Chain A
Amino acid sequence: MHPLTGAGVFAADERIGGDLARVDWAATPLGEPADWPQSLRTAVSILLSSKFSMWMAWGPELTFFCNDAYRRDTLGQKYPWALGRPAREVWTEIWDDIGPRIDAVLTTGQATWDEALLLFLERSGYTEESYHTFSYSPLRDDAGDVVGMLCVVIEETQRVIGERRMATLRDLGSDPSVVRTQQEMLDFTSEQLDRNPHDLPFTLTYLFEEDGAARLASSTGVPAGHPAAAELLPAGSARPWPTAAAAREESVLMPLDAVLTAELPTRVWRGPPTQALVVPLPQKGGAPYGFMVAGLNRYRSLDQDYRAFVALVAGHVATGVASARNYQAQQRRAEELAELDRAKTTFFSNVSHEFRTPLTLIMGPVRELREHLADGDPRVREELEVIHRNGLRLGKLVNSLLDFSRIEAGRMQARYEPVDLAAVTGELASVFRSAVDRAGLDFQVECAPLPQPVHIDRGMWEKVVLNLLSNALKFTFDGSIRVTTREVDGEAVVTVEDTGIGVAAEEMPRLFERFHRIENARSRSNEGSGIGLALVKELVGLHGGAITADSTEGRGTRFTIRLPFGSAHLPAEAVLAEAVADALPIGADPFVQEALRWLPGEQPGTPAEVRDGTAPTADDLAAAPRLGARVLVADDNADMREYLARLLRGAGYEVRTVRDGRAALEAVRTDSPDLVVSDVMMPGLDGLALVGALRTDSRTASVPVLLLSARAGQEASIEGLRAGADDYLVKPFAAAELLARVRANIELARLRGHHARWRTALVDSLQEGFFVCDEDGAVVEINTAFTDILGYGPEGLPYPAVHPWWPDAASDPEAHRQVAEAFTRLLGRSRGGYTIPVVHRDGHRLWISAAFNQVQDPDTGRTVIVGTFRDVTSEHYAIQRESALAALGTCLSQATSLNEALVGALAELRRLWRARTVGAALFGTGDTPVLTATDPSLTWAELPAGDRARLEDLLHRPELTPVSDANGAGILLEHPEGPLGLWIDLGERRPFGGEDQLLLALLAGRLSQGLARAHQIDQQRETAIALQRAILGPARLPEGFAVRYEPATRPLEVGGDWYDTVPLPDGRIGIVVGDCVGRGLEAASVMGQLRSACRALLLQDASPARTLMALDQFAAGVPGASCTTVFCGVLNAETGELTYSSAGHPPGILVQADGATRLLEDGRSLPLAVRPGRERPESTCTIPARSTLLLYTDGLVERRRRPLSTGIHRAGEALQAGRNTAVDQLATEVMAHLAPADGYDDDVALLLYRHPAPLEMSFPADSAQLAPVRKALRGWLDQCDLPPGTVQNILVAAGEACANAIEHGHRDTPGRSVHFRAEAFVDDLHLRIADTGRWKTPRPELDTHRGRGMRLMRALMQQVTVTPGPSGTTVDMHARIV
């Protein structure tokens, strides 16, 4: 059975087809499937075979059909009930929306396109909010009328709702301020939630109080005082909302009863919400902060996505609460710390002296041990060194603090003794020489003796000088340190000058402030408490002196101390009369030791990075960490570095150490550790900057960082956390605490980072693909949807341009170009969008629509490009489908023949798929298939065997079911003359996807219909043309005539004008030229009748006047024939006598041999049927020899705003100019000469006659024919009215040529004929004699009389040309007529 006949129409899909077959079709307006028109069968077949969701409606009631995809995606419970029902009944709930669209398609035939239209469907047992992008296309019946429509639909509910929810989440995250109070945060949040009344008709945020009660903190969508918005819910309440479940971190779905829903605003929906979800506000590592009640959209089910959305919203609110409370706590702590700082000095001063005893008890034995064990175990020695050095440092610190407390308490017990300040200062300076030398600096000590002694407290002075030198060494990397003493203006002036980094001007005022440190200064060490210079100032002050500093950043710093001579400025009780002793500096050691620790090479075997070398020590203070957890330690203090490393290794961590932030950053970038433990203060890149740098680089942003600092200021703490540190530990710290924090941070690493987590969750929950590009266009961040859509995952990041999803430049240059263009726009513009083709990792083609924005990365200040995109492949193809169908429709409708339709359609398919060739084989009745291809030179026989096999193979496939392979795709469809196999050769390996297959099926269906229609038109037209030609005029004209015909209405080949020549029984020729009123088909049918009647009348009675009178009678009975104009004449071709009569027709034009022009204006009367029965005149004239007669219809000469006579005059001129042109050529010239610029706009008929008509004869090659030929020629020459001598010359020359022709004919092929033609022009006569033999070269000596004949011809004629050819010889001769 033919695949498209009968019930087989449902065979394309088993499931739907089966159910369709069970429909009682007889009860529908469509009737039994067996009787369905081909167009309906085609449409149903395409529908069922498609994998895309589609439905269609057909016929007067728009009977509903759908395919399996539509059943699954959209129809829901309405299946199979809907099949065969009127579409209005199936979609009654949305008919108000879709009905007008369907009407528009049916009435205009134009397709519609709707994007994401909201429709409330009832397919799942409830009224459901759903969004659909769809197109309605017209379906046409066999006659081409629109009788139904096809809907290709993509359900976009998930996308639309997903985007709406994303917008809310994005808005929530858009809070510009980092920290704010809890209420401000909640207000902001409510404002955002209130903007999505679709998904959150109302929200209530309750926070737990200490007693477990919950207090309403904010709400949206509920009027105040509403029973749902209870202000306070005591602990354990169940109504209106349960508090206990939320406290247990459980979510509860609450049905809303009438009491609760009463007077709830419905907002954007038609009804109030019927359910609410109570979700906890989770606290990291604690009981929930409270809970949120989210009213639910009654038109959506609470699916996983919806739950996740509400949970994310609650999570955001919880994070907000956490950060607000945290901020409050920090603020409180900051205030407390300030208080603490004030208390600190007091505290330290109280306890510091307590330290001195244990310190002494430590340092004494340590010194002894160092001496005893000078040659001992290196490891023990090393540890002793550490103890010793830090003991000294601690001692120094304790001393400084004690000094402060003493100074503050006014208890500084100074003893001022007169000393040689230059000598004492120089001695102190020399202690530093070795350290300065090792630092590679020039050390200049210029201590010129002073004229008087200066009273100083040696201990204090020592601290002043050593602090200044220590400071100078710390900040000087090149150049020199200079110490001078001299007398200036009656004061002793001591300067300590360096060529170090200097101090910025804005820092100068605070230089001597206690605990003030210059941030980010490049230094040899960041150790230091910031009390050195403050102490110096205090101490100098105690001496009655002053210290000033001047400094140029980058050049160096100079401290200048001025001390008065004498002792008048000092408290008398503290002044000693003499110097006590020449004591050596006693407190220098800690300073020098400390300074040496800053310098390189002091600790042999301590490289910048130490990976191992210390055996782990048992440490049970912290539980065993995650196996193989790796920690990077960054500290500029080698002891601290080693200490931390030992501690962490002991706890089982793999530890790497680096000495500064820069090295840490590099180490993390090359091999990311599980945790970075970093000191805040380090030279170069400090801890905060390190955290900042790590956070701005997406590769390192998630590495947890634990900052260590000796500074416990509130600002430092907040600053550290704000910079993105995960934890902050203040020195000194207990080993157990450090290990606990390290462990906790590593454990939390994956769950950590509220910002990162929030952002990741947000970005990942986007249903649109998300990406971040750097300035060079490399994709550095993506989300899961990106991977879902394109197949490229985060493991391949970064993706530098050219990205791997670009279409291949070689195989698909056009797509590649589009992407390259879009990419240029992406980099060049601040915002924009584009739709481009891309290639999925698995090779399939996608279309994506992207929007992008350039933004400044707030952390780095660099420009990045953030973009989102969605997969618009189906939309793209839907549009492509519509335009392809429209293009094919246009192409088919313009085709004027079956072949033209097919050729045009193949070209359209080739263009659409940019195919190499498209070919179609028609398996008709003949033995070999007929090939039509876009390459017109291809034939079936020349087609490669593989291509032939592919086309033949299609015959075994069901119709309208595409097949494809690596080289292209094909489909079988119905052609009016048999099955047609169509193959698209894509030329190279290019995917032909599901979308392409659908499109091909649709196009093939349309093509099949179009071909059927073209075939009908073909047949009709062939009939019509045959009929038209039959009524137009004689196929063969008598000699001497030429005609032209130009119908005004294309594609009709006839109009109201006509011409006719009628051979009459007496040998004369009837000549008719007529013009019916009007044009087009109607006029043509009248014309046909008049022409036939006129012809018959002339044959019966060869009188033009009587013929026209009879025609008057006839025309009177033919509607539309009245007022026809006719010229009717009877010509004696031998004598040139013309009898004629004109029924209102424009006059004939006669141009004579001498150029005189005459109009045939006699014999005129009214047009036909105006006065039937009235006598018509008749006139006779003789057409002189070699004159030309022109008969025509008014279309030739009539022009707007120009008298007819002008046109007639111009026609006469054209005739005159062409007097020496053959009539057929002359006819063409006259038509061209008189044609208006844009062609004739009326029917034109033209008839030319030149008298006499050319003489044309054929006779056997026999000498007996010579005499009769001569006789005929003589008679014709007489008609030509030539001088007698000329006639004789022509007769002889023609006779010679004929004799030659006969001789040739006799010799080579006896019995063959000779062709003779003579044509007269105004002053020229042309003879042509053609035979079938070879011309004989004249050779008078051998054949005298033949040679003589040739000589005669040349002598008698003006021009003789002999043209020998393979099949005979032609002689052309011209005689001038004088």
Chain B
Amino acid sequence: MSTPLTLTHGRGADGTPLLTAVGEIDMSNTRELADALDRTSGPLVLDLTGVEYLDSAGLSVLFPHAERLELIASPILMPVLTISGLADLATVRD
């Protein structure tokens, strides 16, 4: 049984593809996230506002797509994104 995670594909107000994640991301469910990311191409807005937990396994899925990602995250995730250096590669906004 993997950690509960809901991934919803959609479009943002400007039509940019949007992936909304709700739940927690750890080693047990990064594959789902990776698959979802792989299914998209081009700039992608990843909304992590509903994610309460993100560890290095999740980060390692995000890094290959960093340059095309615009991350929306709650303050809870900010230390992890900053420390890992992902914030330097991807666009991060609150």
Contact = CB atoms under 8 A, between A and B. Distances in A.
Most buried by A among B1, B3, B56, B60: B56
B55 A1352 contact: yes
A1349 B54 CA distance: 11
A1263 B56 contact: no
B56 A1296 contact: yes
Contact of B55 (A1264, A1285, A1296, A1355): A1296
Interface in A1329-1352: 1344-1346, 1348-1349, 1351-1352
Contacts of B84: 1348, 1351-1352
Given A1267-B24, A1267-B26, A1352 B53 contact: no
A975 to B, nearest CB: 64
Interface in B25-58: 26-28, 53-57
A815 interface: no
A1266 B79 contact: no
Contact of A1267 (B4, B57, B63): B4
A1270 interface: yes
B56 A1270 contact: no
B27 A1292 contact: no
B7 to A, nearest CB: 16
A1296 B53 CA distance: 11
A1292 B79 CA distance: 10
Nearest to B2: A1264
A1299 B55 contact: yes
B50 to A, nearest CB: 15
B59 interface: yes
Contact of A1352 (B28, B56, B76): B56
Q: Provide the main secondary structure of the chain A interface.
A: helix
A1302 B27 CA distance: 10
B26 A1299 contact: yes
B80 interface: yes
Given A1344-B63, A1348-B59, A1348-B60, A1266 B83 contact: no
Contacts of A1351: 83-84
A1348 B56 contact: yes
Contacts of A1345: 56-57, 59-60
Contacts of B54: 1292
A387 to B, nearest CB: 150
A1299 B27 contact: yes
Given A1266-B3, A1270-B53, A1288-B76, A1344 B27 contact: no
Interface in A1273-1329: 1284-1285, 1288-1289, 1291-1292, 1295-1296, 1299, 1302-1303
Interface in B53-94: 53-57, 59-60, 63, 76, 79-80, 83-84
A898 interface: no
Nearest to B54: A1292
A1303 B57 CA distance: 12
Nearest to B63: A1344
Interface in A383-434: none
Given A1349-B55, A1352-B80, A1352-B83, A1263 B27 contact: yes
A1295 B83 CA distance: 16
Contacts of B53: 1270, 1291-1292, 1295
Contact of A1356 (B59, B60, B79): B79
A1285 B74 CA distance: 12
Nearest to A1284: B76
A1264 B26 CA distance: 9
B24 A1270 contact: yes
Contacts of B63: 1344
A1266 B83 CA distance: 22
Contacts of B56: 1296, 1299, 1345-1346, 1348-1349, 1352
A170 B27 CA distance: 115
Interface in A433-479: none
A1355 B83 contact: yes
A1291 B76 CA distance: 11
Contacts of A1346: 56
Contacts of B60: 1344-1345, 1348
Interface in A101-144: none
Contacts of A1284: 76
A1296 B59 CA distance: 12
B1 to A, nearest CB: 5
B59 A1266 contact: no
Nearest to A1270: B53
A1302 B63 CA distance: 23
B28 A1267 contact: yes
A1263 B83 contact: no
Contacts of A1296: 55-56
Nearest to A1294: B55
Contacts of B3: 1264, 1266-1267
A159 B63 CA distance: 114
B27 A1266 contact: yes
A1291 B53 CA distance: 8
A1291 B55 CA distance: 9
A1263 B2 CA distance: 8
Nearest to A1293: B55
Contacts of B76: 1284-1285, 1288
Most buried by B among A1266, A1291, A1349, A1352: A1266
Given A1299-B26, A1302-B27, A1292 B55 contact: yes
A539 B29 CA distance: 164
Contacts of A1263: 2, 26-28
A1349 B57 CA distance: 8
A471 B21 CA distance: 157
Contacts of A1349: 55-57
A761 B54 CA distance: 120
A1287 B84 CA distance: 18
A1266 B5 CA distance: 13
Contacts of A1356: 79, 83
Contacts of A1266: 3, 26-28
Most buried by B among A1285, A1292, A1296, A1355: A1292
B83 A1299 contact: no
Contacts of B59: 1345, 1348
A1288 B26 CA distance: 14
A1266 to B, nearest CB: 5
A925 to B, nearest CB: 57
Most buried by A among B3, B27, B53, B80: B27
A1299 B4 contact: no
B79 A1264 contact: no
Contacts of A1302: 27
A1304 to B, nearest CB: 13
Most buried by B among A1270, A1302, A1348, A1355: A1348
A1291 B3 CA distance: 15
A1348 B28 CA distance: 17
A1353 to B, nearest CB: 9
Most buried by A among B2, B26, B59, B84: B26
Interface string A256-292: 0000000000000000000000000000000000000
Contacts of A1299: 26-27, 55-57
B85 to A, nearest CB: 9
A636 to B, nearest CB: 133
Given A1348-B56, A1355-B83, 4 more contacts: A1263-B26, A1266-B27, A1345-B57, A1348-B59
26 contacts: A1263-B27, A1263-B28, A1264-B1, A1264-B3, A1266-B3, A1267-B24, A1267-B26, A1270-B53, A1292-B79, A1295-B26, A1295-B55, A1296-B55, A1296-B56, A1299-B57, A1302-B27, A1303-B27, A1345-B56, A1345-B59, A1345-B60, A1349-B57, A1351-B83, A1352-B56, A1352-B80, A1352-B83, A1355-B83, A1356-B79
Complex A-B, nearest 9 residue pairs according to Cβ-Cβ distance, in ascending order: A1345-B60, A1349-B56, A1263-B28, A1267-B3, A1348-B56, A1355-B83, A1263-B27, A1264-B1, A1266-B26
